[in-house]
Structure 1
Amino acid sequence: MSTMKIKKGDTVKVIAGKDKDKEGKVIAVDQKNGTVLVEGVNMRTKHAKPSASNPEGGILHQEGPIDASNVMYVHKGKATRVGFKLDGDKKVRVAKSTGEVID
């Protein structure tokens, strides 16, 4: 992917897959693989052995990566596409539905 249109901290809506229509905050972005981690979406079960950091061990539930193409940025409560625009000499993200600058 050339440029990621989703950043850490953005609120996104899942538009495809088993978690379709769920919304959440982006925890992490992996530009190399084109994936994002979204709070409460694509939950995985992991079996952990007891360790110093986790003395109990047991079954852990954690988010799995989801492809960036399967999420849309949420702007003012509605999912929208994201574009780029030059604002002076700075490149900014723009919500396609309203034309407003995101950040």
Structure 2
Amino acid sequence: MKIKIKKGDDIKIISGKHKGEYGKVFSVLKNNKQVIIENINIKTKHIKPKQTEDKGYIQKIEKPIHYSNIKLIKKTV
């Protein structure tokens, strides 16, 4: 099945934890049939220091959502 959503499209999430939220598509992962949406589904990742002098840090990452859980609102041209 072909994904009809492209980068920059406005979408609405129709199921899952973020149901009812609106956003813009940041990127499309065609192999997994998932999309990454700006400022939605943000997870925290703890990064360990690589060397003894470095410090670890916490990074916030946008995780992908399956395309069946979103609805296209407005296409970009």
Structure 1 residue 56, shift from structure 2 partner: 5.4
Q: Report whether the alignment pairs 1:32 with 2:31.
A: yes
Q: What TM-score do the two structures reach when normalised by structure 2?
A: 0.82
Structure 1: state its 5+ residue gaps.
Answer: 76-94, 96-101
Two-structure CA RMSD over aligned residues (Å): 1.9
Q: Identity, % of aligned pairs?
A: 42
Identify which of structures 1 and 2 has the higher relative contact order when contacts are C-alpha pairs closer than 8 Å and 6+ apart: 2
Moved over 2 A (4+): none
Corresponding pairs, count: 74
Structure 2: state its 5+ residue gaps.
Answer: none
Structure 1 residue 48, shift from structure 2 partner: 1.5
Question: Partner amino acid for 1:31?
Answer: K
Distance 2:39 2:12 in 1: 12
Q: Name the SS of the counterpart of 1:69 in structure 2.
A: helix
**If you compute each CA radius of gyration, which structure gives the higher value, 1 or 2?**
1
